[in-house]
Amino acid sequence: MSNQLSDRINSVTPSATLEMAAKARELRASGKDIIGLSLGEPDFKVPDYIREAAIQAVNDGYNSYTPVDGYGELKEAVITKFKRDNGLDYEASQIVVSTGAKQALYNVAQVCLNKGDEVILPCPYWVSYSDIVKLADGVPVEVPTSIETDFKMTAEQLETAITPKTKMLWYSSPCNPSGSIYSEKELRALADVLQKHTQIIVVSDEIYEHINYGVTSHASMAAFDDMYDRTVTVNGVAKAFAMTGWRIGFIGGPTYIARACNKLQGQVTSGANCIAQRAVITALLESPDRVRYMVDEFKERRKLILGLLNEIDGFQCNEPEGAFYVFPDVSAYFGKTLNGAKINNASDFAMYILEHANVATVTGDAFGNPKCIRISYAASQEEITEAVSRIKSVL
- 296-335: b (≥16 Cβ within 10 Å) or e: ebbeebbeebbebbeeeeebebbebbbbbbbbbbbbebbe
Whichever of 39 and 354 has its CB closer to ligand PMP, that residue is 39
Residue 204 as a binder of ligand PMP (CB under 6 A): the answer is no
Whichever of 177 and 254 has its CB closer to ligand PMP, that residue is 177
Residue 102 as a binder of ligand PMP (CB under 6 A): the answer is yes
User: Which one of the spans 74-82, 99-107, 147-155, 294-302 is the region binding ligand PMP (CB under 6 A)?
Assistant: 99-107
Concatenated DSSP letters of 28-44:
HHTT---EE-SS----S
Output the smallest distance, CB 128 to ligand GLU, in A: 6
**Partner from ligand GLU, ligand PMP, none binding residue 96, C-beta < 5-8 Å depending on class:** none
| Binding stretches for ligand GLU (CB under 6 A) | 15, 17-18, 39-41, 102, 127-128, 176
Q: How many residues contact ligand PMP, by CB under 6 A?
A: 13
Residues 6 or more apart in contact with residue 223 via CB below 8 angstroms: 86, 87, 88
Residue 15 as a binder of ligand PMP (CB under 6 A): the answer is no
204 phi/psi in degrees, rounded to 5: -105, 105
Beta pairing, strands 359-360 & 341-343: unpaired
The residue of the chain with the least Cβ separation from ligand GLU equals 40
Binding residue (CB under 6 A) for ligand PMP from 150, 205, 321, 329: 205
Binding residue (CB under 6 A) for ligand PMP from 21, 46, 97, 101: 101
Whether the CB-CB separation of 204 and 222 falls below 8 Å is answered with yes
Long-range contact pairs involving 370-374 (C-beta distance under 8 Å, separation at least 24)? 370/345, 370/346, 371/329, 371/330, 371/331, 371/346, 372/124, 372/177, 372/327, 372/328, 372/329, 372/330, 372/331, 372/346, 373/327, 373/328, 373/330, 373/346, 373/349, 374/38, 374/177, 374/325, 374/326, 374/327
Beta pairing, strands 325-326 & 373-376: antiparallel
Binding residue (CB under 6 A) for ligand PMP from 181, 238, 306, 346: 238
Query: Interior CA angle at 102 toward 176 and 179, to 5°?
Result: 10
Residue 316 as a binder of ligand PMP (CB under 6 A): the answer is no
Residue 233 as a binder of ligand PMP (CB under 6 A): the answer is no
The residue of the chain with the least Cβ separation from ligand PMP equals 100
Residue 244 as a binder of ligand PMP (CB under 6 A): the answer is yes
Whichever of 47 and 236 has its CB closer to ligand PMP, that residue is 236
Binding residue (CB under 6 A) for ligand PMP from 47, 70, 100, 252: 100
Residue 94 as a binder of ligand PMP (CB under 6 A): the answer is no
Query: Interior CA angle at 72 toward 69 and 75, to 5°?
Result: 70
User: Which one of the spans 29-37, 96-104, 195-203, 379-387 is the region binding ligand PMP (CB under 6 A)?
Assistant: 96-104
Residue 230 as a binder of ligand PMP (CB under 6 A): the answer is no
Query: Interior CA angle at 167 toward 162 and 172, to 5°?
Result: 85
**Partner from ligand PMP, ligand GLU, none binding residue 18, C-beta < 5-8 Å depending on class:** ligand GLU
Whichever of 18 and 274 has its CB closer to ligand GLU, that residue is 18
Residues that bind ligand PMP (CB under 6 A): 40, 100-102, 126, 172, 176, 205, 207, 236, 238, 244, 249
